Amino acid sequence: MRVWKWIGLAGVLAGVATGAAVARDERVRRHYDAAEIRERLHRRHDEAVAREVAPPDGPHLGG
C-alpha cells in the first residue's frame, strides 16, 4: 500500500510542476503587446516563404 501512496504523491507533484510551467509560459506570452506579436508573425511568415522559394542546398538527385 505504501507504493501507491508514493506513486500518488509523485503524480500530484508532476501535476503541480506542469501547472507552474504552464503559468510561467502564459505570463511570458501575455507580456507581448499586439504590435510585437504581429511583427513576429510577419517575420516568421516571411522566413517560411523564403525557405519555400529558395532552391535546396546540396547535390541534386535528378534521374
Q: Where are the domains of the chain?
A: 2-52
Residue with cell 511568415: 45
Q: Could you tell me the three cell numbers for 14?
A: 508532476
**CA gap 9, 15 in Å, rounded:** 10
Which positions ≥6 away from 32 have C-beta within 8 Å?
40
Confidence of residue 56 (pLDDT cuts 50, 70, 90): low
Distance CA 53, CA 44 (A): 14
pTM of the entire predicted model: 0.41
End-to-end CA distance of the chain: 66
Q: What confidence tens digit (pLDDT) does each residue in 11-36 have?
A: 999 999 999 999 888 887 777 788 98
